[in-house]
Amino acid sequence: MTLALTLPRERPALRRALFLLLCLSVVLPLAALLWRVLSPGGWTGWEVAIAVLYLGTLPWTAICTANAAAGLFLLLREEDAPAFLVPQVVAPRAGPPLRTAIAVCIRNEAMEAVLPPLARLLDGLAAAGERGRFTLWFLSDTQDPAHAAAEEAAIMAVAAGAPLPVRYRRRAGNAGFKAGNVMEFLDRHAEGHELALMLDADSEMSAGAVLRLVRGMEADPRLALIQQLIAGRPAARAFARLFQFGMRAGMRAWATGQGWWQLDDGPYWGHNAILRIAPFREHARLEPLPDGSAILSHDQVEAVRLHAAGWRVRCLPAEEGSLEGNPPALPEFLARDVRWGAGNMQYRHLILRPGLTLMGRWQLAQAMLLFLCAPLWLGMLLAAVGNAATGGGAGTPVGALAALLGLTWAANAAPKLLGYAELLVRGERAAPYGGRGAVLRGAGAEILFSLLVEPVSLLNKSLALGRLALGARGGWAPQNRADRGVAWADAARLLWPHTLVGVGCAAVLAGVSGTAPLLALPFLAGLVLAVPVCVLTASPGLSAWLMRHRIAATPEELAALASGPARAMDAPQGDRLA
């Protein structure tokens, strides 16, 4: 693989045209099937609403399927798909070694969880003979003096025996949240460094993965940023374990396909990425929004600014050596969605600003679409219930409706379904998961889990967007990253609206016919069972059973079990707003 495969031969316009055709090949058949379902017997007002809402979700559905299909094609065709997409990471060094700051953003963190992965990274870099190129920086936004003192003491204790330099910097205020924290560091403390490796408090990267990113930046001086794929760290609790198993499969296929057609207009997720300091400092500085508030979901805006300035941003869809924690339980997962939704919806203030590329505007729109689809799905559910309750849909062909529901689910779940397919087709890639049988067991458990959790997440997103529309403002609050159980009373207080919607819709549909509740079961079951699912997926009993049977085990977990006593299974959870 050589750099001859880069831009001149990549023909981005052709790839994007092919991607658009892929999207249309998804949209048109689903739209035709929708017409087949709704048109018999004439159109009620409810059915018109259902059609409009469904068509609004189709862009996201098409993106999911097209990204996954392109990704699976590359994953099966290329022996090393990540290096095919970012050949710079396997190219020889094209200049002098670049000094790199390893920047870890922290705020009110449990340092006993943050420090061990970083110590392993420093040891790995030292063993690779890289003692003179890297400095580890802790960028603290902790405001409580007592917590800050303990934080600094823990870091200094590690620094005393570290094989590479370790520095600690704490801001007196936290203006601009994480983006402000990073930019203040780059302005005042990064002198003498050309690159910055950005890590969150729960990030874990291997020395090999870091050196590959550095090598890619050295090979191409027009690269401003390389974002590596991020997999979940081994987790003990059932919620994080099942969630990250599906996310890992889905993101591998999604990011590979997206990287194929977005090329130099890639994403930035805020951590487990390396950036070139000079262009980032010049072009990615974020001003407040018109209402004076800070941009929360800063990372994609920073990438878009770099695109607009003519710099390359690439995604390296490789899992190896790049990990993060995931939410330990459903309440933390829903709270993260609320934060992300508040941040992504701020893009409405930015998307039409002058100077952005067309791809940059599309990426901001896509980020908003992820959350805007939630109220569309909720609206469809309520419209379908209203239609059934008022006698509409009497002539609906049940077989066509079942096909539409099944195909729509499969299209939206295509990234993880095709990610699982890759592992099953390529047995050597399934081997680190315990083989094809283990992949199938994990996939089955994760699909059941997601069928129950996704409706709760969609309703929660809808409620959060409603609060934003009524004037609520988002912020950056410290997060719980540790294992915990969830009490029944706490789950009920959080999830009573979800349960009420599920039970109410099920009751209305049951009064109409016996078939209607069955067709709605995949969506309503998660809402009706929201409270027990929340409690069960945080319980030690189910978690221990999954671990004992190695269901949804990751390669890192199995490797640790094979090599002796495993490290602590659960890791802190990452957040792109933190």
pLDDT tier at 386, thresholds 50, 70, 90? very high
Average pLDDT for 340-344: 91
Residue 565 pLDDT: 53
Residue 205, SS3?
Answer: strand
Domain that holds residue 78: 1-578
Residue 228 pLDDT: 97
**Contact criterion met (CB below 8 Å) for 67 and 412:** no
Residue 578 pLDDT: 31
Residue 28 pLDDT: 97
pLDDT tier at 483, thresholds 50, 70, 90? low
pLDDT digits (tens, 9 = 90+) for 409-450: 999 999 999 999 999 999 999 999 999 999 999 999 999 999
pLDDT of 2 over the 50 cut: no
Residue 514 pLDDT: 77
Average pLDDT for 133-150: 92
pLDDT tier at 225, thresholds 50, 70, 90? very high
The percent of residues in the chain predicted with pLDDT above 70, rounded, is 94
pLDDT of 119 over the 90 cut: yes
Average pLDDT for 529-554: 95
Query: Can you state the angle between helices 515-528 and 488-512, rounded to 10 degrees?
Result: 170
What's the total number of domains in the chain? 1
pLDDT tier at 207, thresholds 50, 70, 90? very high
Q: Where residue 151 sits, what CATH number does that domain have?
A: 3.90.550.10
Out of 169-173, 403-407, 498-502, least confident range? 169-173
Residue 392 pLDDT: 82
Average pLDDT for 195-206: 96
pLDDT of 537 over the 50 cut: yes
pLDDT of 402 over the 60 cut: yes
Ordered DSSP codes for 138-189:
EEE----HHHHHHHHHHHHHHHHH-SS-EEEEE-SS-TTHHHHHHHHHHHHT
Residue 3 pLDDT: 36
For residue 284, what are the CA distances in angstroms to 287, 311, 362?
A: 10, 11, 18
pLDDT digits (tens, 9 = 90+) for 85-116: 999 999 887 778 899 999 999 998 889 999 99
CA distance 578 to 336: 10
CA distance 384 to 564: 54
Per the structure block, which two tokens stand in for 321? 């050596």
Average pLDDT for 391-415: 91
- Segment holding 106, helix H or strand E: strand 100-106
Residue 4 pLDDT: 34
CA distance 43 to 38: 7
pLDDT of 478 over the 70 cut: no
Q: How many helices (H) and strands (E) does the chain have?
A: 22, 10
Q: What is the mean pLDDT of the chain?
A: 90
Residue 239 pLDDT: 96
Residue 474 pLDDT: 55
Average pLDDT for 377-405: 91
pLDDT tier at 378, thresholds 50, 70, 90? very high
Average pLDDT for 253-275: 96
pLDDT of 567 over the 50 cut: no
Give residues with Cβ within 8 angstroms of 270, minimum separation 6.
178, 198, 200, 298, 299, 576
pLDDT of 538 over the 80 cut: yes
pLDDT of 516 over the 90 cut: no
Across 203-207, 388-392, 481-485, the highest mean pLDDT is recorded for: 203-207
Residue 293 pLDDT: 87
